[in-house]
Each structure stands twice: as C-alpha cells, then as structure tokens.
Amino acid sequence: MTRIAGLISLLAMGLLPPFAAPSQTTESGQKPAKLPKRFQPLEKSNLWTLVSVFGNDQWIDGESIGDVAVSKNGKWGLSASNQNAVRLWDLSTGDCVRILAKSPWHETGVAFLPDEKHIISAKRTGELEVIDCETGELKRTIKANTGIRNVATVPGGNRIVYCTWYEESYIFDLENDRSIKLDYKKSKNGYWKLIGFPEDGKMFALVTREKVDFFDTDSGKFIHSLEGSPSYVASFVFFKDGKRCLVGFGNGTVGVYDTKTWKMSHSFQTDLKDIQTIGLTKEEKRVFVGFGGYTLALFRLDDGKELWREKGPSITGCAMTPDGKSVFTGSTSHGVMLWDLETGKPRSHKRQEMGTARPIGFLADLIVTRGVDTTTRVNFWKPDGTPVRNFALDPGWDPAGIAKDGRVLAHHFYQGNGLLNLETNQITLLKNSERVDRERFSKDRKWIFGYSRGTLKKWNVETGDEVSLPNEFKALEKQETARSYHYHYHFDSKKAVRFNGPLNTRGSTVPIGKMEFVDLAKDKMIATNSNEGLVPIAFSDDGVLILADRYLSRGQELSLWDHQTGQNLRNFKSFEAPLIAAVFSPSRRYMIAFSKDTILKMFNTATGEVVDEMDFQNINDFPATICMSKDFKKMLIGTQRGLSLYFESK
C-alpha cells in the first residue's frame, strides 16, 4: 500500500454530522483567513469552509522527478514527474506557473523546443505532446510504437531524438514528420536513459548502464561506443565543442573522454559512491555531482578537489542555468530546487522554515504535519495557520500517523518502524520491523500491523514488542508470494481481500484485477471476482470496500463491495482519471473521494449523488491525502506538492 493509502486508513474515523447552512464563521468560531487568489476556487464548496493553508510549495512538485530542463533565457524551468505531471517553474521565484500536462501515466521526459514558446513531453504510453507554455494548450500529439523513455531537442533546429523502453530510438523532424530509426549496436542490458548533444548538434550520445553510444544526427548512423568503463554509467554530459565528454560512474569516478580517440584523458575519484547525475559549469572547469545518498557536491575538474558539499535530497537530474550561477535539479521526493553554485546553498527565496506541510493528523487543538525541505520535519500549527513549533528528523524517516497516546508512527525502510515521542523528539523502534511497509493501526490504535516479504506482522503500540499473530493470520504467510499478491485487511472482522495488482511478477498465473475475499479465521475463500483492473482503495468501519478501475477499462467506475460476503453492492461513474483515495463516514452515509483529474467529490453513498465538489486545477496542484477529525467536522487535505488545506464544516 502506498503511504497515501496508509495515512487515509490510519486517520479516517468519526461520524459525519448534519450539515448546516453556510455561515460567516466555522464550527469552531474560526473566521476564514484571507487567502491568496489561487485558492479562491476552493471557497465555492457548499459544505466546507477553507480556513487555513499550511506550508510553502515553492519548488515542490510532490512526486519523484524523472527529467528537468532550463530555457535558454534562464527564466523558466521544466520538470517531468514520474507520476503524472509536467510543470513550468519561474526560476526567479520558485513558483509553479502552470501545469502543462497531466496524465494518469508517467511523464518520462521533457524539453523546450527551440522557439521556447513550446515544450515537448514524452509519455510512457507512447505519445509525444507539443504544448504551448503560455496557455498550456496541447498543440500536437505524435504517436510512437511503444512507451517512450526520454526525449531531447536537437540544437538549432526542429528535430527531436527520443528513446523507447524497448531500445528503439528515433530522430524525428517536427516540420515534415519524417523519422529516422537509429542504426545501433544493441545494449546487453538496460534502456537508453540519457540523451546528450554538443552545442553544434552534429552528433549525440545515448547512455545505458553499460556504455555510451554516439550517433550522427543527420543520418542516424552509429559512430562509436565508450565501453570498458570502471563501473556502471550513471550520467553523461558533452563539453560545448563536442571534442570531449564527461561521464559519471556508479563507483564515484568522474572521467573525461576524447571524442576523437575515444579514450579517457583524465579522471578523478570522489569518496562517495552512487553518482546519480553530473553537470558541467559554464566555464567547464567545475563539475556538479548529485549522489544517491542525500548529498550533492561541486568539484574542480582538473584535480578533483571538492569545493563544497551539502546534504540535500537524492538528486535524479540536473540542468545548468545559462548565466552559470545556478543548477536546477529534480529529486526523488523533494521536487525541484535551484542551487547556488558558489555556495552550494538553495536559492530558497521566500521559503518558510517549515517548508512543505503534509498531513499527519489532529492532536488536541493542534494540527500536525510533516515538512520536507532538505530535511524532514514534524510541524505543529494552530488552526488559524500560525506555526507553533517544529523539529527535524534524521534523513530517511517518514511520519505516517498518530497513535492513541499521541505518539507518531514513523517509517524508515532500512531501520524499521518506530513511535516518535512528540515531547522528547525520540523514536522508539518497533522490534523486527526492518523493511516493513503498508503499516496501519488497528481500529482501537493499540496495535500496528505491517507487511514484509510475504509476512504479516503485528506490534504492541505501548511496548513496541512484536506480537505473535493468531492462527487465522498465519494462513496468509502460506498463501503469499512476494510481489505477486497484495492484501488489504479489515482486522476487526478478521476478513481480508487479496488482489493481484500492478506490481505482479511476470509469469504469474493470476490475472491483474483478480479479487479474492478471504475469511482469515476459517482459512476459507468467501468469493472471487475477476474483473480486470479493480484496485482496493479504502475500507469503511463496517467492512464495505470501495474499489476503483485504475486502468481506465470501465470509464472510472466506483464499485462498492460488501467485505463480509464478497458481493458487489453497486457501481456508479465518478471521475475521468484513476482514483487516488477515499474515506467513509462510519455510518457509510457519505464518502469523500478524489482522483488524478484534480477533482474532489463528496458522495451520498446510498444514491451515488454528488453532494459537493472542489476543483484543485487552478491552484496548480492535486489532492493527495485526506485526514478527518473524529467528529468529521474538520478536514485536512494534503496536496501533491506539499500543502495542507484545513477545512471546517459550515
């Protein structure tokens, strides 16, 4: 289960109150704050009042970044999310100007076209889209035979080069729609993942983990390969004149190669491994390196001397600004950032100390969020948006939910799970909890359940001790195949739903979307449903399961299932894009759901009628998580880019 679904299952509790007519004050007497203009569309809700916005979303994308680019005038930056969006950034302010493309599928590559009025976006579904930067209007779609891995524009012309996931690459002329399939020596393993050009654009390079291949831009003919490298190839960049190129290797080596002799002429060794990306400064005398271990650094090229080193996000890609003063980066979880090449510090502009604010939950009269800037923080806020305090966590820790005693469940993939004491800022590790994910509390919050490599585990919240599971749960361990099955549990009824989802292993005999309702106490199958594409989203407290067609095969139809019997209760149309999450009122009278099309809707569960909705499109963001207070009078919406929007019922 994703962290999003985990938060929802942890925090969606309480009764839905009757809704009164709109008033000038909220239920708590709180007067809504005067909010920036971009949030005004959310004030049209019939049932909820937007009271406060927590956090700062400058530079924040909200998803892992697959590719970045900078315009030649240095004004704009582009980022392609590995989830579903291409964003245009104002590099002078750090603000997201607009979403240029959004899709249920991965945006894998992005580049400015030569006129800098348009961009081209690559999709894993096999389309290249030309988009107007000023309006966000889709101007043209180019179909490829299969999913696209990356795209780049040829300097000084209207041609592009793109690579597919199946090791086919093409030069495509945007003016006459003519394409040239490359003549190449096929790679032994890995896809072509990077494309590089010198300034004259006469040749280009495609990069795999094992080598760098060079091609003639006009003919597409293969020229040469750099092979026999000291480690796997992590990143690549040409010098401006094309006579040399710079290669970063996974073992920390940075090498300079001559493109006439194809031999390494110079290299230096960093003391860190796991190079992710490299960049060459404007004067071509310094090298920027982003490492996988939350570190970035600048080195002198001639002798490898380290000029500065900073802790930061895990960098996935970089692009230098034309003035040579900054580097624009994408990361796995911290969005984008502009770094000062002289100091190594982020050009943070107006970023608040607390950074982003993703929902954790409600604690007494305070709202608790997690902030991610260059570190992860736990933030405390008053309902009016006033920050109370915050403290930093060690890298890798991710707060996930609030226990009954007020401690916060925190997750670290390698160190395990722990309970964070908000008074002492200390984390107590749960025993034997390494590499556990999809954690959730039991309904009474006395127990924590988690899933690890085919094994369901349980811990006592008070002591942190692992607890032996009842026999009914041990049946899962016999049936589970790592990465083939995924379970959603309803612990109070001792029922489970097993489904084969998107992460199924190749060769599995279970079709995607097969649903098996299991009685854990009796080790017995209740019912099986084989509708393709159905993915469990959330449980109501009484055991009704909501399902969504994530694969678009049935037009985004919400399905309600009885968890006790395995029967389909009803279906109704909901969204145009895959559902992200949903929560029920315990009476099941209402449910709130939202999808990747930026729309949040509140449904009458019995009739399917939409009683309220909000559109997040105009705030250049998507709803991502939701937390409800126990009385269902307070709602905290977490956005993809890291804001928390606090609502109270009218």
Average pLDDT over residues 540-568: 69
Within 8 A by CB and 6+ apart from 61, the residues are 79, 81, 85, 87, 96, 330, 335, 336, 640, 641
Model pTM?
A: 0.68
Query: Would you say 359 and 369 are in contact if contact means Cβ atoms under 8 Å apart?
Result: yes
pLDDT for the residue 15: 25
* 371 and 239 part of one domain: no
For the stretch 511-529, pLDDT in tens is 455 677 777 666 677 777 7
Question: Rounded CA gap, 67 and 329, in Å?
Answer: 9
pLDDT for the residue 46: 86
User: Quick one: which H or E segment has residue 473?
Assistant: helix 471-479
pLDDT for the residue 130: 94
pLDDT for the residue 357: 80
Whether the pLDDT of residue 12 is over 50: the answer is no
Last residue of one domain, picked from the residues 340, 366, 392: 340
Domains in the chain, number: 2
Last residue of one domain, picked from the residues 311, 340, 369: 340
In a domain, 454, yes or no: yes
Question: Rounded CA gap, 227 and 209, in Å?
Answer: 10
Whether the pLDDT of residue 481 is over 70: the answer is no
Q: Is 54 helix (H, G, I), strand (E, B) or coil?
A: strand
- Which of 43-52, 58-67, 328-337, 547-556 has maximum average pLDDT? 43-52
pLDDT for the residue 380: 87
The CATH number that applies at residue 78 is 2.130.10.10
pLDDT interval class at 267 (50, 70, 90) = very high
Whether the pLDDT of residue 567 is over 70: the answer is yes
Burial class (CB in 10 A: 0-12, 13-18, 19+), 460: middle
Query: Would you say 285 and 270 are in contact if contact means Cβ atoms under 8 Å apart?
Result: no
Alpha helices (runs of H) in 169-242, residue ranges in sequence order: none
Question: Rounded CA gap, 534 and 549, in Å?
Answer: 5
* 388 and 240 part of one domain: no
pLDDT interval class at 132 (50, 70, 90) = very high
In a domain, 347, yes or no: no
Query: Would you say 435 and 411 are in contact if contact means Cβ atoms under 8 Å apart?
Result: no
Containing domain of residue 77, as a range?
Answer: 65-340
pLDDT interval class at 7 (50, 70, 90) = very low
Q: Is 364 helix (H, G, I), strand (E, B) or coil?
A: coil
Q: CA neighbours within 13 Å on the CB side: how many for 372?
A: 29
On average, the pLDDT of the chain sits at 78
pLDDT for the residue 231: 86
For the stretch 83-94, pLDDT in tens is 668 889 999 888
In a domain, 346, yes or no: no
Q: Is 556 helix (H, G, I), strand (E, B) or coil?
A: coil
Q: Is 368 helix (H, G, I), strand (E, B) or coil?
A: strand
Question: Rounded CA gap, 560 and 14, in Å?
Answer: 20
> Would you list the DSSP string of 586-644?
TTSSEEEEEETTSEEEEEETTT--EEEEEE-GGGT--EEEEEE-TTS-EEEEEETTS-E
> Would you list the DSSP string of 561-573?
EETTTTEEEEEEE
Question: Rounded CA gap, 453 and 481, in Å?
Answer: 8
Nearest to residue 490, comparing CAs of 543, 556, 538?
A: 543
Query: Residue 341 is encoded by which pair of tokens?
Result: 């090449």
Question: Rounded CA gap, 367 and 372, in Å?
Answer: 16
User: Quick one: which H or E segment has residue 9?
Assistant: helix 3-11
Whether the pLDDT of residue 153 is over 90: the answer is yes
pLDDT interval class at 507 (50, 70, 90) = very low
Question: Rounded CA gap, 564 and 351, in Å?
Answer: 49
For the stretch 268-292, pLDDT in tens is 999 988 899 999 999 999 999 999 8
* 132 and 264 part of one domain: yes
Question: Rounded CA gap, 190 and 209, in Å?
Answer: 6
pLDDT for the residue 629: 85
Within 8 A by CB and 6+ apart from 169, the residues are 161, 162, 163, 181, 182, 184, 192, 206
* 26 and 93 part of one domain: no
Within 8 A by CB and 6+ apart from 2, the residues are none
Question: Rounded CA gap, 244 and 317, in Å?
Answer: 21
* 502 and 560 part of one domain: yes
pLDDT for the residue 494: 65
Give the count of beta carbons closer than 10 Å to the beta carbon of residue 343. 12
Question: Rounded CA gap, 418 and 562, in Å?
Answer: 33
Within 8 A by CB and 6+ apart from 365, the residues are 382, 383
Query: Residue 399 is encoded by which pair of tokens?
Result: 């707060």
Q: Is 232 helix (H, G, I), strand (E, B) or coil?
A: coil
For the stretch 408-459, pLDDT in tens is 888 876 788 888 888 787 888 888 888 776 677 776 778 887 777 667 788 8
Last residue of one domain, picked from the residues 314, 340, 366: 340
In a domain, 283, yes or no: yes
pLDDT for the residue 104: 52
Query: Residue 43 is encoded by which pair of tokens?
Result: 């004030």
Question: Rounded CA gap, 245 and 225, in Å?
Answer: 12
Least confident range of 215-229, 278-292, 584-598: 584-598
* 313 and 390 part of one domain: no
* 513 and 476 part of one domain: yes
For the stretch 486-500, pLDDT in tens is 556 565 556 666 655
Integer angstrom CA distances of residue 580 from 6, 31, 401:
12, 31, 18
Sheet of strand 524-529, all strands in order from the earlier edge strand to the far edge: 486-490, 495-499, 515-519, 524-529
* 430 and 380 part of one domain: yes
Whether the pLDDT of residue 235 is over 90: the answer is yes
pLDDT interval class at 478 (50, 70, 90) = very low
In a domain, 424, yes or no: yes
Question: Rounded CA gap, 625 and 629, in Å?
Answer: 14
Average pLDDT over residues 389-408: 80
With pLDDT > 70 as the criterion, what percentage of the chain qualifies? 78
Query: Residue 353 is encoded by which pair of tokens?
Result: 């100390």
* 254 and 387 part of one domain: no
Strands (E), 45-200: 48-54, 65-70, 76-81, 85-90, 95-102, 107-112, 118-123, 127-132, 138-143, 148-153, 159-164, 169-173, 178-181, 194-196
pLDDT for the residue 518: 72
Least confident range of 255-259, 464-468, 534-538: 534-538
In a domain, 461, yes or no: yes
* 332 and 357 part of one domain: no
Whether the pLDDT of residue 554 is over 70: the answer is no
In a domain, 345, yes or no: no
pLDDT for the residue 279: 96
The 3-state secondary structure of 309-331, one letter per residue: EEECCCEEEEEECCCCCEEEEEE
Question: Rounded CA gap, 298 and 289, in Å?
Answer: 6
Question: Rounded CA gap, 5 and 567, in Å?
Answer: 23
* 86 and 46 part of one domain: no
pLDDT interval class at 203 (50, 70, 90) = very high
pLDDT interval class at 78 (50, 70, 90) = very high
Whether the pLDDT of residue 302 is over 90: the answer is yes
In a domain, 543, yes or no: yes
pLDDT for the residue 639: 86
* 293 and 387 part of one domain: no
Query: Would you say 42 and 616 are in contact if contact means Cβ atoms under 8 Å apart?
Result: yes
For the stretch 322-374, pLDDT in tens is 999 999 998 886 678 889 999 998 875 444 444 678 888 888 888 888 876 55
Residue type, 315: I
Higher per-residue pLDDT: 620 or 344? 344
Distance of CA 516 to the CA centre of its chain: 29
pLDDT for the residue 473: 55
Within 8 A by CB and 6+ apart from 502, the residues are 512, 535, 550
For the stretch 156-200, pLDDT in tens is 888 999 988 777 889 999 999 999 998 776 655 555 677 899 999
